[in-house]
Chain A
Amino acid sequence: MSKVYTYILVMAVVTYAIRALPLTLIRKEIKSKFIRSFLYYVPYATLAAMTFPAILSATDYWISSVVGFAVAMVLAFNKKSLLTVASCACAAAFIVELFI
């Protein structure tokens, strides 16, 4: 396992370069309406794609995941805070699993 630290360093360099290049190189305000719109929509598209359908297998049972997902959607739609939405989703799933 002596190579492990080399693996860790190699992946750290690649990952950091991906993050640092755009942030250090893009210094001006982007004028293009298309690119501005694109960057505006990126977080919504990315986070939605990461959430669904992955959330369905987040817990051990799909039923508790579905309930947690539903609770999160309802609370978020009613503009509850990050912490409220996240903790209520976990709590709902936990309660469902107590009955399984």
Chain B
Amino acid sequence: MYVGKISDFRDGCRDAIPICLGYLAVSFAFGIESSKIGMTPLQSVMTSLLNVTSAGQFSALSIIAAQGSYFELIILQFIINLRYMLMSAALSQKLDPELSTGYRLGISYGVTDEIFGVSVLKKGKLYPLYSYGLIFISVFGWVLGTLLGAMAGQIMPHRLISCLGLAIYGMFIAIIVPDTRKSSAVMAVVATAMVLSTVFTYAPLVCSISSGFRIIIVTVVVAAAASLIAPIKEGEDE
């Protein structure tokens, strides 16, 4: 069982800088929203530290504000965050099969869209120390942004916050688009997923599906179709 070197931790920290910046912007908005419903800065920070899930946290605010039921909260979080289950399953294939449960539980803490995106497309095996570096810097940004938003949100220039919201999507694009040049199947997956997601967002009836569930449906349908039409060759996913 090899867990990586201290240089892997450093690499992880470096690769997490764009995630950290994107998180600062998004969690800043979360901090502002949470203060609006009367949560204290400590409560906002604890929410970010323990959950590290943008869509999940934002959606929970409405239930907390309305003093909704725990059952509703559980169902909502389960549906919105179900995609992490797919991501964790994909990540499990990047780990050394001998890797102990402790390290697996550590890596689990940081399965987010962005950390997953960087981890899964890293060449070769995924070492825990690399993951810890990614998680450390990313969560630092996530928590710091929340704190700043909760304390001083209303006095920051709004235009700046607005533009920083693009950072996270810019990052997603930087992760998925380069590979479309070497594989037409990946190109088709990216394009189809975007089109389907647009249909689900605006078309009548299906537009009432929550964003978390929409992402799950699109992911499962598109990835399954691609696997049937263009199964990967041996070693392509290494």
Contacts and interface: CB of A to CB of B under 8 A. Distances in A.
B partners with A: yes
Interface in B10-61: 15, 17-19, 21-22, 38-40, 43, 46-47, 50-53, 56-57, 60
A10 B46 CA distance: 12
A18 B81 contact: yes
Identify which of B74, B104, B223 gathers the most chain A CB atoms within 10 Å of its CB: B223
A49 to B, nearest CB: 4
Nearest to B97: A27
Contacts of A75: 174
B170 to A, nearest CB: 4
Nearest to B160: A94
Contacts of B218: 45-46, 49
Interface string B155-172: 000111011111111111
* Interface of B: prevailing SS: helix
Contacts of B95: 23
B51 A11 contact: yes
Given A8-B43, A24-B105, A43-B117, A18 B171 contact: no
B67 A15 contact: no
Contacts of B139: none
B39 A94 contact: no
Contacts of B205: none
Interface in B85-127: 85-93, 95, 97, 101, 104-105, 107-109, 111, 113, 116-118, 120-121
Contacts of B140: none
A44 B197 CA distance: 13
B78 interface: yes
Interface residues of A, number: 77
A15 B198 contact: no
A26 B85 CA distance: 11
Interface residues of B, number: 107
A52 B223 contact: no
Interface in A30-87: 30, 33-55, 58-60, 64-65, 68-69, 72-73, 75-77, 79-87
A60 B165 CA distance: 9
A43 B176 contact: yes
Contacts of A64: 162-163
B166 A85 contact: no
Given A14-B78, A15-B77, A48 B189 contact: yes
B73 interface: yes
B177 interface: yes
B18 A76 contact: no
Contact of A53 (B89, B201, B215): B201
Contact of A72 (B22, B173, B231): B173
A16 interface: yes
A52 B198 contact: yes
Identify which of B17, B39, B177, B222 gathers the most chain A CB atoms within 10 Å of its CB: B177
Given A43-B176, A47-B117, A7 B73 contact: yes
